[in-house]
Amino acid sequence: MIIALDGPAASGKGTLARRLAAHYGLPHLDTGLLYRATARTLMDSDARLDDVAKAVAAARGLALTDFDENRLRGREMGEAASVVAAIPAVRAALIDMQRAFAQRPRGAVLDGRDIGTVIAPNATVKIFVTASAEARAQRRALELRGRGEDVDYYAILEDIRKRDARDRDRSDAPLKPADDAKILDTTDMNVEAALAAALAVTEAAMEAIRA
């Protein structure tokens, strides 16, 4: 079973992906980390984020063990990731790794922007997780403060709006729900309510396959 979760920044897709993966005993890949780690490699070597050759080399050089770093989850890296993610050659360099992960024997849970549309168009379950920009900014500000970043809610709201626009308007794999995705608006849901809704969608998809 492949579960594809897509959606804009801080909509809660990563939290749901982790919880669904634990529930079904499946491996989970947070694909945003691939773009964040690519951006980190460029920044650490003082390369420009729009240097296509260096960005592709950075993407190709990633290992799935590169990821347990608090800095990757920070505000700066989220912004930088969405700049490198708009480069088609960077996306192409990261496709095989993600598709291979999705093809694990019992299946997998992947979250990102293009899982249901590009990486795993045949996923068993596709959920597009969304929430108002204000709710997402509130959540992200709380999260970043919890990580020790001194952030202002209005600055985060501005980041989120800019990043939504960049992710939606790019030519390659733009942020948009797959035609067959279920939209889950979590604006007025806490994590437990959102998880219950995602589980209901997943169970219904599995039931439809069994029928």
Ligand X SMILES: Nc1ncnc2c1ncn2[C@@H]1O[C@H](COP(=O)(O)OP(=O)(O)O)[C@@H](O)[C@H]1O
- The Cα diameter of the chain in Å comes to 55
Of 56 and 173, CB closest to ligand X:
173
Residues 6+ apart with CB under 8 A from 118: 95, 173
Q: How far is the CB of 123 from ligand X (least distance, A)?
A: 17
Q: Which residues bind ligand X (CB under 6 A)?
A: 7, 9-15, 139-140, 143, 186, 189-191, 194
Q: How far is the CB of 190 from ligand CDP (least distance, A)?
A: 18
Q: 107: left (phi > 0), else alpha (psi -120 to 50), else beta?
A: left
Site string for ligand CDP, 161-200 (x = CB under 6 A): --x---x---------------------------------
Q: Looking only at residues 117 through 136 of this chain, which bind ligand CDP when binding is defined by CB under 6 A? A: none
47 is in an annotated binding site: no
CB 159 within 8 A of CB 89: no
Encode 154-172: b = buried (16+ Cβ within 10 Å), e = exposed.
eebbebbeebbebbeebee
**C-alpha closest to that of 140 among 198, 184, 74:** 74
Of 143 and 206, CB closest to ligand CDP:
143
Choose the one of ligand CDP, ligand X, none that binds residue 15, judging by a C-beta under 5 to 8 angstroms depending on kind.
Answer: ligand X
Q: Which two tokens stand for residue 100?
A: 């291979």
Q: List residues binding ligand CDP (CB under 6 A).
A: 9-10, 14, 31-32, 35-36, 78, 81-82, 85, 112-114, 163, 167
